[in-house]
Amino acid sequence: MGLSQRQWQDTLGLIEYFSASEDPSQLRRDCGEALLRLLKADHFASYIWQVEEDEFHSPCQLNLDDRNLARYQDYYQFHDPITHKMRRFQQAVSVNQVIHQADLIKTEFYQDFLSRDGMHYGVNLYVFDESGRNLADFRLWRNKQRRNFEDSDLEMLNIIAPHFRNSMRRLNKKNGQQLIKKYDLTQREFEVLRLLNQAYGDQKIAQELYISLSTCRTHIRRIYQKLDIHQRAKLLDFLKPYQF
């Protein structure tokens, strides 16, 4: 069953908004508000998967308890029987495509995490850039009083995905340019910083940029000086809001 005329109109309205957005964090939140309405969902969460750290970060949520989300961040993302399986689809996917509902509700994940906020039926969308890096995910849930999501809901999510990707690409490029200007980075320093943000080691950065290891470390030292940061872990924390 395809989208209704109203669903098409609402979807096109959301796509039009993508082209006007100027803030990547606000874009995710505004998109979540629109999707709650369009998909008649009750709860929304969004994360960005950090491959290098092997965890989700930069949470954004609507209609969920912050304390429960903190429990996900600290524990349940590492004991989550569905999300990593769904992420492999790299498109809109229903929770019940990876686990039967009857089996889901027997899990600790459901009984001690999902059910606390009334999350019962779920769909996720994962958006990646050309290199395969996750730009963001959208997790939408309905409570048990509603019906499960349908194919048309997944279709709507898959339609908006490339437009969200393009908007994030545009905003990430803008973020990078602002970072260069604010901290007076050279283009080469920014290229090194971009790879540092992907948790590349010094040797791998040097190989990627075809420069010597000593030159690479000189760039890193200058980056630390300009950003007034002197530890790799603190640099990665500083860069978490940036996606470039």
Domain 184-239 class, CATH top level? mainly alpha
> 68 pLDDT exceeds 60?
yes
Domain ranges of the chain: 5-170, 184-239
pLDDT (0 to 100) of residue 241: 67
- Which pair of tokens denotes residue 90? 């790299």
> 221 pLDDT exceeds 80?
yes
Residue for token pair 């200007």: 181
Region of 201 on the Ramachandran plot (φ > 0 left; ψ -120 to 50 alpha; else beta):
beta
5-170, what's its fold? Beta-Lactamase (3.30.450)
Same fold, 5-170 and 184-239: no
The pLDDT tens digits for 78-97 are 999 999 999 999 899 999 99
- Which pair of tokens denotes residue 79? 């004991």
> 168 pLDDT exceeds 60?
yes
- pLDDT-derived band at 184 (thresholds 50, 70, 90) equals very high
Dihedral sign for Cα atoms in the order 193, 165, 154, 44: positive
Average pLDDT, the chain: 90
